[in-house]
Amino acid sequence: MVVKRRKAHHSTGKKSKETDKDASTKEIEEPIPQEFAQNRAQRRQDAVQTVEKKSWKTSRRLVFTLGTIVGVLIAFYMGADHVRNNNGELFDNLSMLNLESVRDYLDDWKEVLPQSVSSFIGDMQSSYSSEPLQDLTESFAVGKQMRKEYNMTAKHPVVMVPGVISTGIESWGVEGDSECDSSAHFRKRLWGSFYMLRTMVLDKMCWLKHISLDPITGLDPPHFRLRAAQGFEAADFFMAGYWIWNKILQNLGAIGYDPDKMATAAYDWRLAYLDLERRDRFFTKLKQQIELIHELSGEKVCLVGHSMGSQVMFYFLKWAEAEGKYYGNGGADWTDKHIDSFVNVAGTMLGAPKAVPALISGEMKDTIQLNALAMYGLEKFFSRKERLDMIQTWGGIPSMLPKGGNMIWGNMTFSVEDALNNNTASFGNFIRFEKIKDGAHFKNNCSIEDSIDTIMKLSPWWLQDRIKDQYSFGYAKTEKEMKENEKHHTYWSNPLDVPLPYAPDMKIYCIYGIHNPTERAYVYREQPTNASLNITIDYDSQNPVFFTEGDGTVPLITHSICHKWAQGKSPYNPGGSNVTIVEIKHQPERFDMRGGAKSAEHVDILGSAELNEYILRIASGLGDTIEPRLLSNLSNWVQEIPFPM
């Protein structure tokens, strides 16, 4: 037997093509063993049959799978069509039951099917429910729906106060120093933009010099000057594609709000609270703005604070009434005269445990709420020591340290949250040391109170002085003590040390997420003597972080002050301001990066359809239609907490 083989030619160009063409007609016959040729032919035939067999089985399996799915959907459709024609109410009940019973099954199919088929299933689930489902994550969706159903329009002016890190910060310096020319960054956002990430990567030390504050004064370092961005652009997006307040702005706009009736109170969150007034006159400007829009509109103002922004608002209300230099001097009735409602969204009113590791060891991965890219930059290009040195210059961060001590957060053996904990140790055992070496300086575990003492011991003197002057973390024992504390700014960020303003007509809304695991306690280890940090989280531990109930950033227990206010007139709520508490269950969409319309995560809750609806109701004067909703055990926990009053 012979096999025919073509000669190879390696020339190029037109001549090569002609040569190849000629060569294709020339064949060389080479004899090969007949047995080898037969074996090769048999192997080729077997391979073809195997491929054909696999293709047939694969196609058969795919057809069967798709046929099953289509059959189920056709059954839904035919049943829907028949029942609709005979009994609409019965269909509503049955269709919802059927969809609920098979939804999980179809969701499992989505995981393994091609994207086009997954999309088809999702569309069918929505199309054949009892009512067409509106995508409430779409722009303006909630506002348009509320305007259509309730003829909702703008009423109370709205002032929105962002949380920590939410406001963009831009450079306004033109000097710099010999190693870092500040003029190259003039009016560029060094916090809250892709420019920030680029500068982190290409000029790390220059970025640190800009973003850090002067450690002694807590204000601008020599030759560098950063300021909070202004306007709605300061907080609607952290960076392109990562919204923060944008959904709320859109929905307010859909019911008639414009810059004459709403504003964002952007601030430099790096600064200690009173330093915001000393350097920027932030509170003075905010007070004047509220007074102006109140006068122009004839309506009291709705304040909406998120996270640290709620603390800033509480501080502001005490500042506005207080008398003294750098204080508001507005009088005891200023709040009741100008403020209709205070909306506390996921507020850190009693602090957040995550602030402790930030100030002890520069742990920022889950401490300061950032989007993934910003967090990647800080973790990738900066050591923990560099991050700690930077954070310690930011006087605003200690404001979020937990307040109320062991009364709220528990002692070494007991916390009201322990019912959620399957571990033998209490949540009150806040910092734990599992590996203690001979000669170690840190031998004892720490409660929240002990941890704050540890921060003070490990911090430089200038940070210790700033914390002592600006913040308190305990609680008043008597009503007389609370009234005395109202005279000094040290206590104004702690609602356990000073009461709400006397404002019988002001309405308070506490809205926060639940059912999202949240950091609550940590396992630490002491570093070697030559290390740059004294202690760090022990990531080699089997369980380095303990989680409790919350919104992913702020534990549920932080909101206990809202429940205390809601009990009625008391030393904590002297005016008997009405308090409405709404707990939102965290129910993120599986295929939505930001959780979708039912997310109650600490930042993503700002895009929640439910929260947006509540804000529109409050702003439009329909806040009294909001029903309280308590889904957690917090109200029972509050009964167990030994409040002194």
pLDDT, tens digit, 9 for 90 and up, residues 369-381? 444 445 555 656 7
Q: Which residues contact 134 (CB under 8 A, 6 or more apart)?
A: 141, 145
If you ran DSSP here, which 8-state letter would residue 171 be given? E
Tell me what pLDDT residue 6 has.
40
The alpha-helical segments, DSSP class H, found in 113-203 are: 115-127, 141-150, 194-202
Which residue did the predictor score with more confidence, 454 or 38? 454
**Contact (Cβ atoms closer than 8 angstroms) between residue 266 and residue 229:** yes
Question: Is pLDDT above 80 for 433?
Answer: yes
Give the span between the Cα atoms of 538 and 515, in whole angstroms.
26
Give me the catalytic one of 95, 171, 193, 307.
307
> In this structure, what DSSP letter does residue 182 have?
G
Instruction: Find which of 32-46, 87-101, 188-202 is predicted with most confidence, using mean pLDDT.
Output: 188-202
Residue 441: active-site member? no
Write the pLDDT tens digit of every residue in 402-430: 999 999 999 999 999 998 776 568 999 99
Rounded Cα distance between 588 and 460, Å, is 42
* Each residue's pLDDT tens digit, 20-53: 444 444 443 444 444 444 544 454 455 445 444 4
Confidence category of residue 303, pLDDT binned at 50, 70, 90: very high
68: which residues sit within 8 A by CB, 6+ positions away? none
| pLDDT value of residue 73 | 55
Mean of per-residue pLDDT scores for the chain: 82
Catalytic residue among 341, 551, 577, 604: 551
pLDDT grade, residue 594 (50/70/90)? confident
Q: What is the pLDDT of residue 134?
A: 60
| pLDDT tens, position by position, 255-277 | 999 999 999 999 999 999 999 99
DSSP labels for 199-230? HHHH-HHHHHHHHSPPTTTSSPPTT--EEE--
Q: What is the largest CA-CA distance in the chain?
A: 113
Banded model confidence at residue 216, pLDDT cuts 50, 70, 90: very high
Q: How many helices (H) and strands (E) does the chain have?
A: 22, 19
Task: Give the Cα-Cα-Cα angle 371, 242, 117 (nearest 5 degrees).
Answer: 100
82 is catalytic: no
Say which range, 16-20, 171-175, 358-362, 430-434, has the weakest mean pLDDT.
16-20
DSSP states along 306-334: ETHHHHHHHHHHHHHH--STTS----TTH
Has 551 been annotated as catalytic? Answer: yes
Residue matched to tokens 């109320």: 404
What per-residue confidence (pLDDT) applies to 51? 40
Selected catalytic residue, list 182, 497, 602, 604:
602
State how far the Cα of 402 lies from the Cα of 394, in Å rounded to an integer. 17
Q: What angle do CA 595, 349, 491 make, to 5 degrees?
A: 155
pLDDT of residue 172: 96
pLDDT given at position 422: 62
